[in-house]
Structure formats: C-alpha cells, structure tokens
Structure 1
Amino acid sequence: MTRNVLLWASVCLFNVVTLVAPWDPDAGIVKSMTKLSGVQVWATSNNDSAHKVLDNDDNTQWTSNNCLPMDYISRSDQNILYGLCPERCHSNNPQDQDLDKITDGMTITATKINPWTENVRKASFQIILPESTIQVLSIWGIYKDNTKVITVDGSGHETDIRLLNVTDSYHEIRINNLSGVSVLKIESPHDFILKEISALGTKGCAERIVIDLGQVQRIGVVRTRHWAGAKAAVSAKLVMSNDQKVWTTVKELVPDALGAVETVLSPPVEYRYIAVDYEVFSANYRHVYCWEIDAWGEHSKWGPVPTPVPQENTVREILGVNGIWGWGHNIYSDSITAGEGPYLYNQISSHARNYHNLNWDVLDPDFSPRFEQMAKSHGTNATWWLNWDREYSTWQKAGLYVDVSLQFTAKDFPESSWNTPERSAFQYGEEFASHFGQAIGNGFVDAVEVGNEPWDYHSGFYASLLKAMASGIRAVDTNITVLSGAFQAHDENADNPPSGNYIGTRVKEDAIGNVSVLNTHAYSFISTENGQRIATYPENQSSTFNSIRNILRWRDTNCPSKPIWLTEWGWDSDGENEACKNSECVSENAQALYGVRGLLMITRHQIQKATWYFYANLDNCDTLFCRSGLTSSKMHNFTKKAVFQAFETVLQMIGDKYFLNVFKEDSGGYVYLFGQQMNNPDATSNKVKSFEKATHIVAWLPVDAANTTSTSITMDLPRAVNVLNGWRITGATPPKLKATEDITVDGSHMSLNISSRPLIVEIVHPDHAGEIVG
C-alpha cells in the first residue's frame, strides 16, 4: 500500500513538472506576423491564389492575371477610362444614346455614333482624358469608311494619329505612348460603332498584393520572395499603410530577385497593411508572381539577444576544428610528417570532429560493422583496409578531444535499405560504444553524433533512428557524449527532404534523455537586394549566424541542462594562392576578423564547443565551402591562412580566459569582458561582480571588414583599473599590432578607439601591480 501511495505521488509530481514545463517542439520559433491568427490577404487580380503568399512555402505563388491584351479593360484600377462615359464623353449628335457602353469595360457592348445633320456628313465622338500621358490606348469599333483618331493638346491643337478603315473593324487598335494629350476624338464621314475605348495611364499595368495584419504592428524586418518572373515587371515596391488610402514606400525592390530578400526597417515602423506593388511590362500576356511575405519585429525571426551568462569554458576549450581521416594527406595520421595533421591543428584546437562515414563501416545498415575484426587489422564490413583505432588514437595523442560525426544519408542508405531500422540503429550504437567508448571500449572517442546533416530522411524516420542509436550507445556506455545530428530551431517549414533540418520534428521528447548535447550548424549568410546569397559579418542583424538564438531558446524550454555545440561555422575566403570564386566568399582578411569576432560572440552565447569548418581548403574545388580552411590545401602545403594566425594570437592573449559579461552590444560597438571563471555563474551575475574577475576587455565595431571607420567610445567602469597592454587583431600579417595609443584610462573612465579589428585590452585592478598606459 505504501508502495502504491509513493508511486501515485511520483506520478502526480511528474504531472506537475510536465504542466510547469511542457515539451514544446516549436520553442525556438519567432512566428511571422503574417502567419498570426486573423491575418487576411487579397490581390488586385486572381484573388483566389493570393493565400499562397502566406502558406509557408517559397515554391508556391500568387500569379496575377495578364494585364494585356484584354484583362485591364474591365479593371478600374488599371483602365483610366473605365466608367468615364457619359460624364466626360460627347457626341456631335445629341440623339446618340448609350455612350456609357464605350467605357464600360466590355467589348461585347456597343454604341453607334451618327452624323448630326444631312448637310454635315460627319460623325464625331470625343472623350476628355483624365491623364495627359497614355502608355497604351485601345479602340474597338466597326467602321464603314475612313475614320480618323485625333488627339487634342492643352492649347487645342489637333493631331491626326491614326486612320481607320473597314479592315480595322472588330479588331483592337492599339496606340502606344501618347503624351501631352487632353482630349481624344474619333471622326468619320459616316456613322460608326464604338465597342470600347480603354487606356493605361502613367501607372501602366499595376498589380498589388495586400496583407492585413488585423492591427497596427511594430515592424522591423520584412521578408519577401517577390520574383516577378522573367521580364515581367518594370519595378516592384514594398509599401505600407494604416488606412489603405495613404501608402508609404519603404523599399524599392528588385523585381528580378530570384531568392527571398529581407528588408530591414531601422528604426522599426508601425503599420497595419503590408503590400508589394508591381508595375508590369506593357506587353501582351505578361503577369507577375509573389511567392511569400513574412514580417517580424526588430529582432527578426531570430528573436532578442539572450541575457549574457558567464561561460563555464575557456576560449581555448571552446574552439575546435573539423577534420577528416588523414587530414588531407590520404594516409593514416600516425604516418603523417611531424608537425602536420592533428599536430598542426592542435595549435589552436582543443577538439577535432571527424566525418565518420557509415558506408565505410557497413555495406548495409542492417549489418554489423565488425569493429573487433577491424582492431585486428582485418577492416570493417565495408572497407577491408580501414582501422579507425589508428586514426583516433593519434588524434588523442595530439591532445585533441575526439568528436565523431556518424555520417549517413538517404543517398547512401535509403530508408528502404533499413530492413529493421530501430533494431539496426540500436545494434550499431551498441557496437560503436562497446568498441570506442569510455566505459568498456578503448576510449578513443569522446563524443559521437547520430548523423551529421541527415536532412534527406523523413523526420519520423530519423527520429526513430536517433532514439534507437542513442539508446544502443547508452546501453553500454553512460560516459560518452551523445549528440543528435545538426538541426536548426528557427524554421519549422524546413521539414521535408532533402532539406529537412528542423529540430522540432527530429529530436523528440522520448529520445532526449539519451542525448547529452544539442547540435547545430550556423554560417553567416544574407541575401542581397537581388536575392543572391552572400557571406556577411557575424553581427549583421539579418545574418543566419543569429540562428544560434533560436536553438538556445529551444534548449532553454525543453532541456535546459544540456549544452549546445556549434559543430560547423566559418567563412570561405581566398588566400595562400588559392582563389575563392563563390558569391559567399570573403577576403582573407575578412575571414580572419569574422572568425575572431564570431568566436567572441560564440563564447557570449553559451556555446560549449564551436568547431570551425574546415581544417584546410580542398584541392581542385571551387564550390561553396571549398575555401573555408584554416590553411591552404595540400597543393600549397597546408600553409596557415590569416584566420589560423588570428586564432593563434587571440588564444595567446585570452585562450585561458572565460567570457564574463557584455559591457556594450549595439551598432556603436561591442565590448565584452573576459577573465577568471565566475563562481556559480548564472544569468543574474551583474557587471560589478563580473568586472571584479575581468582581466581583459575586448572591443570592436560590428561592421564589414572592408569598413575602415573607427570611433571612440567612453565607458564608466564599475571600478578603477590600470591598463597593462593593448593589442589590435589585424586579420593580416602581422596578426596583431600594439594599440596602447587607442586606449585612454582615467581611474574608472576608459576611452577606446574601436574599429572592425578587435581591440584586446589587458587590465589589472589597483590592488595588483601593473603599469599604467594611456
């Protein structure tokens, strides 16, 4: 009975905890304002497809109707003559009736224009035009004899612009590009019939798609995939309104931008209606597209920057590198020349990550890898010559913490090839941990990832593999660190292969207990105004590097005790005689500066490990990530690039220090504190407490590396300090320059001259010895 009471109490306690902190697979999402309840959308034409700009799918679209040749005539928003008759129309025969049919937007109705008297054999019709500039004038009629089309300017001067005859009957007569016109006249010696007259004015073929947010919202970022189609639009504009009467253009868009574009509104603006306006080319059968429209507040889809928390890991402990079997030498690492391979990259890396291909271990995912035979130099099930023990033991001897990313994809092992997916995944995990793990294995592997980027599997299938493989690992080893594959938490629509990388559907509550660490990748990309993806500096408000924030929020909600590893990040650059040709390339100097600044931001964002991609450039390769190396390729002897030297320099100065706090973090400058580890660090640690532990201040401007701007900032410090030294990271050769002249200190007042190149200031508190500079 007592046991039952205790069991019941435990269940109740579990339920209470569950209610307090329920699992939320979408905890990282910052929902677009356009996807909130009550939002409506409509368009100037083909309104039935307007909803597609809100369907979370960049590959579906609203398509306008064809303005020309015929659609515009029945639309009052395009046809400037629509409904003008009879008020602005006149016939010289007062008995002529139904003049309204001439501008009623229908070519199936008609009005006969008759001569006025027997003596004056002339039938005449005129219409006063609302605009003096006409892009397209269209006339439909039936003619018995020569019929003149005449324009009249503001001074009454008449110009014959077209002579119609019987062969023009029933056809559209189109006249383009009239200017300075106030009246249009049509005259004939005989009666004639006008079926319709229509015109496009200065606005031409205009289309608009409108989103009603339901209420006024504070808008900081608008994302549009507004590609209008090939040679479809003259212009496109992002416009906003609060009453649909007065519209403000907030951005001139590039209608040919193929990819999605983000418009940052700084400062944010307050509007209820968001629209995209298109001016369509005045040609037959031209229409425009709009694919998706999203809007967020000033922090975009990334959400606000998290509260700074003192790090529990030093800068050196955080930084690692992505490697590969043999480190590009195509031989085992224990056969590489001294000072190369793991003994080169360990100069700046505390850990190394290997892409451990599952298809090197097994021919079929249901087979055993035969690691015990591999250890006896008989190879694995799939690779006769392979011995991972030789490789990983050498990495460990080089002082590297070894992280193995088990790389398997549907391309190599389709879902159909896993006959017993859960049992096979469990078995592989169990055998891997038994051989390489810390508990009963040889201990050559410290961490294992269940997939690198297994994004081409369906979410449910991968989730079952993760649960089973992590369970298999844990069945024999509770010490080894287990990670999921690398996923993101900001886009719930990225759920389908081959780009299914959303964590909410792949890392589930029933598996998280056996997962030690969350895994994500974050590169720093933005889209230009023409929709082209380029690399950018890590602090850029629109940069995808900010996706770290979303994974942090997801973690804080669902598994707050688990660390996060950023297992891929970096930039591509030229350097060391190896060109970089992609749109995502940056200069070698920028790669170095962004690498250092990115690392500083990573330490501030509670990331436990950050693994640079890649150890070296790749030979004979010019696609994305081929030039992301810390060194050149084998072809150029793995020469250290500027980013390698920059990391070396930073680690020499603050490698054994911990991030403590943010002193400043805005467009005017980033200022971080580093120093001794805080006791019992938490988010409530204030600047005074963290400053007491500070040994270094690091400051820089969050701008493009090519920006040579410098600015002076002044800070009131919590207490007086002395400055021991000051260095600026150059991102070039030499990697640092003395910068004491950029530092002025007067007790607790400090002024720094900062730029895109980080300034590292070594300080000491007055109760310690130190030379004062500045």
Structure 2
Amino acid sequence: MKLLAVTLIATLAISGIGLLLNMQIRGQKPAVLDWQYPDAGRVIPLSRNARVTATSGKGVKNITDDNTNTFWQSDAPFPTNYLTRKDQNLLLDQAGGNHCTLTGKAIPTAATDGNPESGVTIDADTGNAQFTLQLEQPQQLLLVGVKAGFSGSLQMTAVTTSGKTTILHWFEQHENYALIRFQVHEVSAIKALNIISPKPFTLFELAALNSLPDEFALLDLGKQQLIGIIETRHWATNPAAVVKTNLLLSKDGLQWVQAAALQPATTGKITNILTPPAEARYVKLQHTLADADWVKAEIWEITVYDSNGPFGPMPPPKPQQHTMRKLLGVNGIWGWGYNQSSNNLPSGKGPQLFVRVADCARNYHNLDWDVTDPDHTPQFDLMALGKGTEAQPWLNWDTEYAAWKTAGLPAQVSVQFTNASHPAGIWNNAYTAAYNYGYAFARHFGSTHGNGLVTAIEIGNEPWDYAPDFYHTVFKGMARGVKDADADLKVLPCALQAHAPNTPESGVNNYIATMLTPDSAPLLDALNIHAYSYVYNEAGMRIATYPEHSCSEMRSVLSMLRFGKANLPGIPVQLTEWGWDSSSSAEDCLHSECVTENEQALYAVRGALMSARMGLDRLFWFFYANGKGESSIFNRSGLTESVQAGGSPKQAFRAMAALIYLLGNTSFCNVLQEGNNGWIYAMCNPAGQVTHLVAWLPIAGNSVATAKVTFACLQKPVSAWVINGLTASGYGQAPLPVYENGLITTRLSAQPLVIELQ
C-alpha cells in the first residue's frame, strides 16, 4: 500500500505535488500566508475597549478577555476589609471633627480610622466612661462592628431620631479585645451610638453598615451606546456567599437602573436581552454578599452588544439562486437505520421516504469502514465487484449510493475521521495518505471518470480534536487528490465556525482562520458549518429556541458568510447540520435542548426560509430519524420517529413536505419586513416574478400570540395557507388576506402563512 502511495504522488508531479514532496524531503516548508481578514466573521462587542474597574480584588482584566474560564475575584469584606471601605463602612473617619464626644481627654480619631490595631482609651470622669458618635445622617443600620478592650461591663446603645435609647449589645467576656460584628434589630433611624462602661476601656474600632456589602465590576464603554444584549458569566463559586446579583446600567455613572436580576448560582454563560434596547455608557454587575467571614464574589465575563447580538445583523437581501426544493437536504446514514443496504429496503422506506422533504442527502462515510489504516489506499474497484472494502468485507457503497440517487437523493459524503478514531500518530505520512484516499475516492465516485454517485466530499465531519496544522495537512492532501482525479467533484472542508477563535480551554479546534490557510482556497468549492438554534437561559442552561432569536447560535452562519465574503468572495456556504430535538407520540424528549413537536415543525420551516434569505447554498437537516434509546442531545432530532419505534413521520416531516409542495419551485427574492411585528418574504418563480409571500411572527412556536399587519403589495392575494404539519398534507387553508388600495392586511402567528398572489 505504501508503494502505491509513492507511485500516485510521483505520477502527478506535474500538478505541483512533486515540488511539494521535494521541498519536504529537503526539510523545507512551503510558505503559508495568513488570511487577509482572519476575523472578518467576528462581531466586535461594545465592551471590547471598555475601561473596567472593580471595587476590590484581583484579575479585573479577566472580565473582558473573551475567556469564560478566567475570572475576577473580589476581596472578602468580612471580617476586616470593610473597615477601610467608605462605600461599606458608614463610620469611617467619622470620629474626627464635631461628630464625637467622649469622657476623658483622649483624641478619638483612632476609633474610626479603619485600623483595628489602633485605639483610643476612654477614661471615666466622675461616673461612667462613655464614647458617643453622632451619625452624619440619621439612618437605619444593619450591622455594627466593634473591637474594644474592657475590664468592667460594656454596652452599646443607640439613640433614634425620636429620642428613644435602645440597647444594641451587651459585650461578653470572650468578646474582649476581639473584633466582633452583630446585627442591629432597631428598625428606626439611628442618629447616635453610645458605648458605656463603669470603668475605663479602649475602643480600637467602631464601624457600621446600613446594608450588606456590595462587590461589583464597572464597565465604562467610553460613550453612550444603544445596548441590546449583555452576556455574562457571573457564577459565585460559593453560592451561599452571594445574596443577590444585579445587572445595572447608567448614562452618567451616578443614576442606575436595573437591567436584570441574575441568579448568582448560575454556572454557565447567560444571555440578557434588553427589551427595548437601552442607552447607557456604564454597565455594572453587582454581587451583594452575605454577612459571613471570608466570602468573596467572582465575575468571569461580561460582553456587551447592540441589539444584533454576538453574530451581527442580517446581510442585505439578495435573490437566492436555488429553489426551496433544491436548497433542502437531509442527513442520512448507510441503510437509514434498517441495518441493511438501501437497495434492499421496502418501497417507501429510506431514501424513497425522505425525497418528500429533501432534494439531496448527506452521508456520514466513516474512513475506518473503507480502510483499516489511514495510510492504506481504498480498493473501491474490488468493492464494486462485490468483494467489500478492506475494513468491511460485506460493504458496497455503490449499491448504497445508487439507491439514494435512484430515489432522487444524490449523495454528498462527509468522510469521518477524528483524532480519537485515527490519532495523528498513526498516520505515517498524513499528506500522502490523504491524497491517495481522495484520489481513489474521486476516481471511483466522481462523475468524470467514475460512476457519478457522489456530488461532493467533505474532508472530515467534526475532526476538531486534531491540531490545526495536522488537519490542514490532511485537508490539503485529500482535496488535492480529489481535484487531481476529478475536478468536477466538489470539495468542502470539515464543519468550521468563524465567530470565536479557539482557546486552550475550549478543548476544540474549529475556527476557520486557524484550521484552514489561504493556500486551501483553490481547492475549496464551498465552506461548511454546523449551527443549531441554542441560547443560554437565566439559569445558565443551554436550551433550544426559535431561529430568529437574536442570540440563537443558528445565526453563527452570518459570521461564516462574512468570513467568506471578505476572504473568498463568491464562495458558497453550506449548513450541513441544523435542526431541533423534539418529542413525538412514541418517543419523549426530556433534555434541556428539547422543544415540542409543534415547535420543531414551525422552526424547521421558518429556519429553512431564513437560511434561504441569508444566502446559504445548501441545508442538510440533522437527523433523518430519531435515534434509539433514551432522550439525549440529537437523539430526538429526527424528521421521523426512530425505526425501532416504527419510523412514523413527525409533524416536522409533514411541515417540510408542505413547504416543498407550496413553495418548492420558488426562490427567496426579497424581504418586505423583518421585525417583531412580522417577517415577510417575497418568493419568486424561475423567471424572477413574485408569485408568493410567506410571513410569520418571530416568536416561540407554542405562543398563541397574533398580530395584525398591513403592508404594500402590487399584486392581489388569491389564496392563503398555513404550514403547521398538523394534517396529512402538512398545511391548511387560511383566511384570505384583505386587499385594498394596494395594501394587504392579514393576521400573523408563529405558523408560517403562505399567500399566493395574482
């Protein structure tokens, strides 16, 4: 097998491979340039250059370092730090001036200087020794802290604004020379504090708080900004230490309004959406700490965005080149869950079923189903003769993919390999091995010299556990092999993302600017991304949401589109995995990312239309069917129930079939509106004429909310339907919108409304 590998490389020296091999032999490396705009997909948050300050502690820079695994930690107010904090200790330095009287002739300043080691001796005159401190402003007190040395009895009293004297504390002997803290139960405003003893005593410190201590971080954005979204990770590692956590906004740093009340025990990142967006220059995240010693607060990250959120605004609309039918695909697998080749499946099963909701299918084609060692070259010619592959003697991809193509679902293949399944160390020569695999694959399955059963190849699915350099070596080798064997077979990289550079803590490598280099460009026919509609709720739990949500991770495709536009103008972007997990009549869905069956159906249609509007080249729903077994992530994402549960179509299947039936021969051509009061798209026939409108409210699928909308249209509506997947056809007749004076008036809901125009 290794001899064949060398032979293949040598025979293609004219393509430039020989030059690369010679350079590697001489110990040289080909020059690799950086992308001109590596971060073109990223959204710069309003907080990127914010000035960050904090009340105390260390690590304040970690609050805006784009790393949710680093943190700022405050000092502990108790037992002693609060003494020196003017924002916490009301009595700091109040013993000077005219606020204090005492028996004897001592200077009282040390009694409130914040230092429990310095003190003032209070002598007795003819009677008791007494220290009295008038509060600067009468107010309720919550806590008092005192350290005193005494030989006789000692008590503290308070004088209220009404003149009433209340005993606050009798000192016990074990409190002698100890810094103590006690709660004040007097509810009236206090104007003076007295400490009295029949014998001289030393007062080392007197302090008071009118509320529990706050520790906070403050972001100064530099100028007033219209803030729409604030992401925070504010987990208090000791939940008992924090009584409450608030997110506050201010225009001037003096007057504050609450933006959100947060849960301090939330461990993950959460998204706070301001409705409506608010003008502010200052953002404060404030922890209120408990009355306990050594408790501290943490803030891990604060990121501030405008109302477009972390993935940015929708691009200007432009006509979609594909019809809705051509745009839609589905992720399948060998045998479609029946454990037998698709050519042996009963009529109406497998690809013959899913052609109702898709125009193409994507297969997870495992590298280790073809070869037992990545350095071995697959023998697809022997496989075609019925002799199987090196790894699976029963396997024949030809009969499998032929069944897909015959049914009307041409195959796009994602060759699966990861560092877990194929460690980098077992590849003797990664470039050569990948080249030989790609060449053999394209020569056999491509349309130029092979059987034409595969339309595109993805080099990896999610091989994100490889180092970027290694993946890029494999990509270049396999892609070059494919193109040398069949230039018409489309090549995609593995699924990547363009919105967030990877960090060591992230544990994955999937940032496009590091996993691919510009010398990949001539080998690329499209970019590849996986995106699911997830957000984080107030408890820090990841949940699924509707696709239009401003923070939905499905919008990460916008970042990939911007990266492609800046670095690879004109390159298509495919969304090769998307979808929602849902329950169904036979299989429950219990994990946090679940939605209802009704929501899955509505989101599927709306997500497809939204993706068409964004300009994506292909959409492959994940997954064709539910997985067997208990509820778990992606195991309930099917358009049908699992084969084990009978494989019945779910509501989403019927809704997507209705989308194809009603709008399959149309293409997105323009936006009439995209706002809280409705998303309305114009759909065109192949001649570019507007034939339909499709409209809905961007809200949760189970919401019963509706909204009356009126908008201009030159054409009169003649029919209307709602797509919901509730009937066998997946759609139902809707009231005909009113048309008057060139205006259409109708009522929208979460269900997509299709309007046919005259």
Q: TM-score, normalised by structure 2?
A: 0.92
Q: Residue 40 of structure 1 aligns to which amino acid in structure 2?
A: R
Letter in 2 for 1:216: Q
SS at 1:384 equivalent: coil
Q: Secondary structure at the match of 1:400?
A: coil
Equivalent pairs, count: 721
- The residue aligned with 1:80 is 90
Deviation at 1:499, TM superposition (A): 2.6
Contact kept? 1:137, 1:198, Cα under 8 Å: yes
- After superposition, the C-alpha distances for 1:201-224 in whole angstroms (9 at most, x for unaligned) are 22x110111122233333222111
Residue-by-residue CA offset, 1:532-585 (whole Å, 9 max, x unaligned): 111111111121121121111111111122211111111111013110001111
- 1:387-424 Cα offsets, whole Å, 9 max, x none, are 22221121111111201011111111222222322222
Number of the residue aligned with 1:124: 130
Q: Contact 1:62 / 1:289 at 8 angstroms: preserved in 2?
A: yes
Aligned residue among 242, 245, 248 for 1:239: 248
Question: 1:266, 1:133 → 2: CA distance?
Answer: 35
- 2:386 partner SS: coil
Give the counterpart letter for 2:748 in structure 1: I
Cα deviation 1:236-285 (Å, max 9, x = unaligned): 12222343222332222222222112222344333322221111112122
1:110 maps to which of 113, 119, 136: 119
Give the match's secondary structure for 1:309: coil
Q: Is the CA contact 1:321–1:352 (under 8 Å) kept in the aligned structure 2?
A: yes
In 1, distance between residues paired with 2:507 and 2:389? Answer: 29
Structure 1: state its 5+ residue gaps: 1-20, 679-689, 765-774
After TM superposition, the structure 1 = structure 2 runs for residues 408-427 of structure 1, keeping only pairs within 5 Å, are 408-427=417-436
Q: Distance in 2 between matches of 1:331 and 1:757?
A: 38
SS state at 1:375 partner: helix
- In structure 2, the CA distance between the partners of 1:589 and 1:88, relative to structure 1 (3 Å rule), is farther
The one-letter code sitting in structure 1 at the alignment partner of 2:148 is: G
Q: Is this contact kept in 2: 1:123–1:188, CA < 8 A?
A: yes
Which residue of 623, 633, 653 maps to 2:632? 623
Who is 1:45 aligned against? 56
Q: Is the 1:56–1:493 Cα contact (8 Å) retained in structure 2? A: no
Deviation at 1:747, TM superposition (A): 5.7
- Partners of 2:248 and 2:258 within 8 A in 1: yes
Q: 1:515 to 1:331 in 2, by over 3 A?
A: same
Q: Write the distance in 1 (CA, Å) between the matches of 2:488 and 2:255.
A: 64
- How far apart, in 1, do the equivalents of 2:717 and 2:168 lie? 83
In the alignment, the residues of structure 1 paired with residue 471 and residue 142 of structure 2 have an alpha-carbon distance, to the nearest angstrom, of 58
Secondary structure at the aligned position of 2:710 is classed as strand
CA contact (8 A) 1:34 1:54 kept: yes
1:15 is matched with none
What whole-Å deviation, never above 9, does each CA across 1:56-85 have from its counterpart, x for those lacking one? 110010011112122211211112221211
SS at match of 1:76: coil
SS in 1 for 2:425: helix
Q: CA 1:738–1:358 in structure 2 vs 1: closer, same or farther (change >3 Å)? A: closer
Instruction: Go from structure 1 to structure 2 and tell me whether the alpha carbon gap of 1:452 and 1:591 turns closer, same or farther (over 3 Å shift).
Output: same
1:759 equivalent in alignment to 2:756: no
Backbone CA RMSD of aligned residues: 2.0
Cα distance in 2, alignment partners of residues 264 and 308 from structure 1: 25
Distance in 2 of aligned mates of 1:155 and 1:735: 78
Is 1:31 aligned with 2:44? yes
- Give the corresponding residue for 1:652: 661
Q: How many Å apart are 1:369 and its aligned residue?
A: 2.9
- SS of corresponding position for 2:555: helix
Q: Relative to 1, partners in 2 of residues 1:187 and 1:22: Cα closer, same or farther, differing over 3 Å?
A: closer
Deviation at 1:735, TM superposition (A): 5.2
Matched, 1:704 2:713: no
Name the structure 2 match of 1:353.
362
Alignment of 1:323-362 (within 5 A): 323-362=332-371
| Residue 156 (structure 2) pairs with residue 149 (structure 1) | yes
Quickly say closer, same or farther: Cα 1:755–1:93, change in 2 above 3 A.
same
- 2:708 maps to a residue whose letter is S
Match of 2:488 in 1: 479
What does the per-residue CA deviation read over 1:618-657, in whole Å, with 9 as the maximum and x for residues that have no partner? 1113111111100001122110000101111121111111
2:116–2:179: 8 Å Cα contact kept in structure 1? no
Quick one: which of 451, 468, 474 aligns to 1:442? 451
CA contact (8 A) 1:729 1:736 kept: yes
Q: Distance in 2 between matches of 1:171 and 1:655?
A: 80
Q: Matches of residues 486-565 of structure 1 in structure 2 within 5 Å?
A: 486-493=495-502, 498-565=507-574
* Secondary structure of 2:523 counterpart: coil
- Tell me the distance in 2 between the aligned counterparts of 1:430 and 1:536: 42
Match of 1:9 in 2: none
Residue 10 of structure 2 corresponds to: none
Answer whether contact 2:655 2:731 (CA < 8 A) is retained: no
Q: Return the letter of the residue paired with 1:732.
A: L
Deviations 1:572-611 (A, max 9, x none): 1101311000111111111101111111111111112101
Residue 355 of structure 1: CA displacement? 0.8
Give the aligned residue type for 2:63.
Answer: V
Alpha-carbon distance between aligned partners in 2 of 1:587 and 1:441, rounded to the nearest angstrom: 44
Q: AA paired with 2:152?
A: D
Does the 8 Å contact 2:658/2:731 carry over to 1? no
**Alignment pair present for 1:164 and 2:171:** yes
Conserved? CA contact 1:460–1:506, under 8 Å: yes
The 3-state SS of whatever aligns with 1:446 is strand
Pair 240,140 (structure 1): closer, same or farther in 2 beyond 3 Å: same
Distance 1:643-1:738 versus aligned 2 partners, 3 A rule:
closer
**Given residue 110 of structure 1, which amino acid in structure 2 is its aligned partner?**
G
Aligned AA (2:303): D
Distance 2:486 2:297 in 1: 59
Distance 1:248 1:182 in 2: 30
Residues 495, 502 of structure 1: 8 Å contact kept: no
Cα displacement string for residues 97-136 of structure 1 (whole angstroms, at most 9, x for unaligned residues):
2x1111111111111011123xx2x101122344633332
| Equivalent of residue 750 in structure 1, options 740, 744, 748 | 744
Q: TM-score, normalised by structure 1?
A: 0.90
Deviation at 1:737, TM superposition (A): 5.5
Alignment partners' CA distance in 2, 1:219 and 1:251? 13
TM alignment of 1:141-220, pairs within 5 A: 141-178=148-185, 179-180=187-188, 181-202=190-211, 204-220=212-228
Any conservation in 2 of the 1:113–1:124 contact (CA below 8 Å)?
Answer: yes
Cα distance in 2 for partners of 1:552, 1:106 equals 60
Structure 2 residue 464 is the aligned partner of structure 1 residue 459: no
**Residue type at the aligned position of 2:721:** W
Cα distance in 2, alignment partners of residues 344 and 167 from structure 1: 82
Q: Cα gap change, 1:216/1:497 in structure 2, threshold over 3 Å: closer, same or farther?
A: closer
Give the unaligned 5+ runs of structure 2: 1-33
Secondary structure in structure 2 of the residue aligned to 1:377: helix
Over 3 Å counting, the alpha-carbon distance change for 1:494 and 1:166 in structure 2 is closer
Measured after TM superposition, the shift of residue 377 of structure 1 is 3.2
Q: Percent identity?
A: 37
How far the C-alpha of 1:746 sits from its partner, in A, is 3.0
Query: Using the alignment, how far apart are the partners of 1:493 and 1:215 within structure 2?
Result: 30
Shift of 1:29: 0.9
Taking the aligned partners of 2:196 and 2:654, their CA distance within structure 1 comes to: 84
C-alpha spacing 1:496/1:332, structure 2 compared with 1 (3 Å): farther
Is 1:664–1:671's contact at 8 Å kept on the other side of the alignment? yes
Contact 2:582 2:637 in 1 (8 A): yes
* 1:771 match: none
* Cα 1:271–1:116 shift into 2, 3 Å: same
CA distance in 2, matches of 1:346, 1:316: 10
Residue range with higher mean Cα deviation, 75-84 or 129-138: 129-138
SS in structure 1 at match of 2:385: coil
Q: Secondary structure at the match of 2:47?
A: helix
- Amino acid in structure 2 at the alignment position of 1:210: L
